[in-house]
Amino acid sequence: MTMGCPYGTHRVLEPAGSLPQPAWRLNDDPKIYDNEILIDVQRLNIDSASFRQISEEAGGDPDRIAAIIRRIVTERGKMHNPVTGSGGMLIGTVREVGPALNADVRPGDRIATLVSLSLTPLRIEAIHRVLPESDQVEVTGTAVLFETGIYAKLPDDIPDNLALAALDVCGAPAQTARLVKPGDRVLILGGGGKSGLLCSYAARRAGAAEVICFDYSDESLARARRLGAAHRYIQGDARDALGVMRAVGEKVDLTLSLVNVPGAELGAILATKPTGKIYFFSMATSFTAAALGAEGVGSQVEMLIGNGYYPGHADLTLNLLRESPELRALFEEIYA
C-alpha cells in the first residue's frame, strides 16, 4: 500500500518538512495515496478577506480575478493567497476513495470540504465563471483531501451554492452558540455579512440580551435589518477604534470580529469589557496587533483565535437555515 502522512506532509514540495498549510507549494497530482480522497471540483468559495484583496488587485474585473486565482493555484498547488495567507473551501463530487480509508463517502457523493483551500492540493483545468457577489468561482478541476481532512455531505434540501456559502463560515455561528451566555450583550463587527447574519441569529437564539450589528455598508445593514435578529444597528468603520467604542457605548460581554479588512483589532478591544471575550473569526486579523493592542490599553480581555472547526458545526449551521425562513431567504437572494 502507498500510504501518505495523515496530515498531508507527503504532498509538500517546498519547504521540506513543513505541514501543508504553511507550505509554499504542494503536489497537486490527482493520483491519490491509499489514505486520500480525490474530488472533482465544481465550485470554490474564496474566503472574504482573500476575495476582497484579489478583487481590489484586479480592479473588480472578473477576468482578471480569474487570472489571479489561476496563477496562485498553478504556482502553489493550492488556493493560498500569498497576501492574506488564507484560502476558502470547495464543493465537488467524490471521484475516488483510497482503499485504506474508513470513510462514510463513496464515488458520486457530493461533498463540501471543511478544511481550508490553503492546505488542500488543488489543480484547476478551467475557470468558467467568477461570482463577485458571493465570492465564489465555478471551475473544473481536482482536489485531494487528506486522511485528517474533514468534510460534509451536501444536503438534498439546500442548493449546493447556498450550502457552500453557509458551510464556508460554519465555525462562526457554532462558536457563537457556544460562547453566548443568556443575558450577554454581543457586538458583531461585520454583522451584515454572511457570517454576521448567521452569528446574529445564533446569538439571539442562544439568549443574548442585546445583539449589536455594526457594519460599514448601507446594503449590509439593510440586510441585517431585514433579518431582524439584532437589537441595534450601527453604521461605522470598524478600523476607527474610538469611533466603535463611542458608538457602542457601554462595553459588551462578547465581540465577534467578522470584518474582511485589517485594522479592526483595537475597535473590538475597546468596545469589550476587560473581563469579556473577543472571537476573531476574520482572516484579516493581525494577532500581533490584537495582543499588543490589548496590552497597550490595559485590557485583560480574553481573545480567541477564530478556529473554523467545532464539533457539529456543519449541521448546526445548515439547521439555522432550515429553522429561519428569513435567514434562508436572505442567503437564497445572494447565493442561490
* Rounded-to-integer distance, Cα 139 and Cα 126, Å: 6
> Is residue 226's pLDDT more than 90?
yes
> Is residue 111's pLDDT more than 70?
yes
pLDDT of residue 283: 85
* Rounded-to-integer distance, Cα 37 and Cα 166, Å: 23
pLDDT of residue 336: 72
pLDDT of residue 335: 80
C-alpha cell recorded at residue 291:
495582543
The verdict on 115 and 198 lying in the same domain is no
Strand order in the sheet with 252-257: 232-235, 210-215, 185-189, 252-257, 272-280, 302-305
What percentage of the chain's residues is helix, strand, coil (to nearest 5)?
35, 25, 40
pLDDT tens across 182-222, in order? 999 999 999 999 999 999 999 999 999 999 999 999 999 99
The verdict on 146 and 178 lying in the same domain is no
> Is residue 334's pLDDT more than 90?
no
> Is residue 276's pLDDT more than 80?
yes
> How does residue 282 score in pLDDT terms, banded at 50, 70 and 90?
confident
pLDDT tens across 9-68, in order? 999 999 988 999 999 999 999 999 999 999 999 999 999 999 999 999 999 999 999 999
pLDDT of residue 1: 60
> Is residue 239's pLDDT more than 90?
yes
What are 113's strand-pairing partners? 151
The verdict on 196 and 286 lying in the same domain is yes
Which structural domain range is residue 298 located in?
Answer: 170-335
The verdict on 91 and 131 lying in the same domain is yes
Region 247-276: what's the mean pLDDT?
97
CATH number at residue 250: 3.40.50.720
The verdict on 238 and 109 lying in the same domain is no
* Rounded-to-integer distance, Cα 218 and Cα 208, Å: 24
